[in-house]
A and B are shown apart, each in its own frame.
Chain A
């Protein structure tokens, strides 16, 4: 069991800056993120894009912002659970929380700050009636273990890199691979497109373009799919697996089931005071929260995090006095005892 003062869910820019503000109050933080590294969207989606509205940075690349934040919070020695998604939360009788990830890692903390941004990235599911009934019964949105497809008949749908890459890979594993794509052309890496077309020419895979999978049939598991072809109409394709690969979409995910008040896919907070949710001890900051007048900006998230940790302090240390300090006056003292401080001005008497 990992124990900390504040558990932060989401290691994007706002989650990272929360560590800094908590550190000033001598609170230790642990972060959980579904991605295998810190940085959230800034690292995953647009690391090379410049951001122009971070105060005092006329321009900064999203990736550099994350690096700077990592450097800024280093004195407060944050710890991480990466590549795991916060799945469940339990409030104990003493008011502490236990948050468990999808891989079973347990975290104990007095306060939880959700800085989950847009949520965790989940596969985009095609709008096919009844598809959820076949999930893990022949419908696979992600390929974790390609061996399950050995000697099976597989239909892959999609036109991007991942559809092409898995078509190439499974050509040597599955008994039959059929790639269905809406268009005549593929937008993946040229090398992959060429390989797929070569495999099709050799008869190792089958390509059905200008077509979409529109129905799934089976008795408890996938037995066939209906492919709607632009010219030929409906074709029934017998198969054991249907793998739709249409990229990822951010979803609030399991947090939506934590009993928090949700509005428009975001967590409602009390912005007039402390950015707390309807569950005492759980706060939400950054893009994941909502309140009247909310702006989804990194700089607003920094502000929200700063306020939230002041109140989280009272939960971690009930009754213990403190007063916000200016870093210019006091410097910052890391958890290793080292203090960074400005040089004292030299005053000379005349």
Chain B
């Protein structure tokens, strides 16, 4: 079994505990879309739209922010210290128990 649990708080403050496969090369943006959470993923996952911006609330060690992601977060709104782009966070075993919150739409 390669599923992990990821907790995502939507924009109405409702938390969703999601079973997330780690063997399908999925990222957080795709996971949200698969569960029909309101994440646009406009650019398809190229770190070019910030519609999947989320805030990381747990202390998990995540992949480093790449240049494209940093550039996008530079232009996005509602950015906080713990902002990440969901499309750049690929699901892995280490992310079990991860807690995220969707940033407001902009």
Task: Decide if the interface of chain A is mainly helix, strand, loop or mixed.
Answer: loop
**Chain A nearest CB: distance from B67 CB in Å?**
9
A183 to chain B: which residues have CB within 8 Å? 74
The answer on a CB contact under 8 Å between B46 and A187 is no
Assess whether B46 is in contact with A246, with CB atoms less than 8 Å apart: no
Whether the Cβ atoms of A296 and B70 lie closer than 8 Å is no
* Interface Cβ pair total, 8 Å cutoff: 36
Judged by DSSP, the binding face of B is loop
From B46, B74, B75, contact of A46 by CB (8 A)? B46
Instruction: Give the interface size bracket for A toward B.
Output: 10 to 19
B79 within 8 A of A: yes
Task: Choose one: A45, A46, A127; the contact of B77 (CB below 8 Å).
Answer: A127
A159 touches B77 (CB 8 A): no
Q: Which residue of B lies closest to A159 (CB)?
A: B74
CA distance A49 to B71 in the complex (A): 18
B43 within 8 A of A: yes
A interface footprint on B33-74 (CB within 8 Å = 1, 0 otherwise): 000000010111010110000000000000000000011001
Q: By the criterion CB–CB under 8 Å, are B104 and A118 in contact?
A: no
Which residues from chain A contact B40 at a C-beta distance below 8 Å? Answer: 265
- Which residues on the A side are within 8 Å of B82 (C-beta)? none
Select one of B44, B49, B71, B79 contacting A187, CB under 8 A.
B71
Contact B75 A158 (CB under 8 A): yes
Which of A45, A126, A160 interacts with B74 by CB under 8 Å? A160
Minimum CB distance partner of B77 in chain A: A127
Query: Whole-angstrom distance from the CB of B88 to the nearest CB of chain A?
Result: 16
Q: Does A303 contact B (CB under 8 A)?
A: no
12 contacts across the A-B interface (CB closer than 8 A):
A46-B46, A49-B46, A118-B42, A124-B75, A124-B77, A124-B106, A127-B106, A160-B75, A246-B77, A250-B42, A250-B49, A265-B40
Interface residues of B (CB under 8 A from A): 40, 42-44, 46, 48-49, 70-71, 74-79, 104, 106
